[in-house]
Amino acid sequence: MSIELFDIEIGKYKEGVHRIEFEMDSEFFKSYESSCVEDGKVWAELVFDKGAFAIKFDFKIKGEVKRSCDRCLNDLSYPVENTFNLVAKITADIGEDEEHLTYILPNEQWFKAASYFMEMICLSLPIKVVCEDVSQVCDSSMLEKFMEEEEEEIPSQFEKLKNLFKDNKI
């Protein structure tokens, strides 16, 4: 689903409660160049209650995203689920956005929901994603390879120092 479809023409909706469903898929995730995930399939829902002076938004996501293990680079399907609520005050007196508060100008027609959904995905992932989180085991051959690479780097630093001493450079 293209990212433009997450722009809601809020101006055309009557006062009251409305519900829109979205699908965050490959096409959606490709629109975000640097994000916490590259791919996935996530169902998303936005329920909003439009009033004369404010709109209350309730966001919901549920699905799976593709992430590589931060330890062994295995591809993982990571389950995500999250909710978020936001109040948008309709006013010409625009203040500073807070976590659950934003402002919409009275003549503003559009509300962009994509970045809210994207942030909900990123926030529902741990800082470090590892195989164990999804009942998988890290690829031991990859772990060994990384260990070897680390070990190789240390002696080379020592070598450099040793050579410096040898040449009486320090």
Distance of closest approach, residue 71 Cβ to Zn ion, in angstroms: 5
HSE toward the beta carbon, residue 52, CA cutoff 13 A: 0
The residue assigned the tokens 């934003």 is 102
Question: Residues with Cβ < 8 Å from 149, sequence gap 6 or more?
Answer: none
Distance of closest approach, residue 138 Cβ to Zn ion, in angstroms: 3
Q: Using CB under 5 A, which of the segments 1-9, 26-34, 61-69, 82-90 binds Zn ion?
A: 61-69
Distance of closest approach, residue 135 Cβ to Zn ion, in angstroms: 12
Q: Using CB under 5 A, which of the segments 21-29, 58-66, 130-138, 160-168 binds Zn ion?
A: 130-138
One residue of 8, 59, 61, 74 binding Zn ion per CB under 5 A? 74
Q: Note whether 84 and 120 are within 8 A (CB).
A: yes
Structure tokens at 115: 């970045």
One residue of 8, 55, 72, 80 binding Zn ion per CB under 5 A? 72
Cα dihedral angle (122, 128, 138, 28), rounded to 10 degrees? Answer: 20
One residue of 87, 90, 131, 134 binding Zn ion per CB under 5 A? 131
Structure tokens at 53: 């002076």
Distance of closest approach, residue 146 Cβ to Zn ion, in angstroms: 11
Q: Is 95 helix (H, G, I), strand (E, B) or coil?
A: coil
> Which position's Cβ is nearest Zn ion?
69
Q: By the criterion CB under 5 A, which residues form the site for Zn ion?
A: 69, 71-72, 74, 131, 138
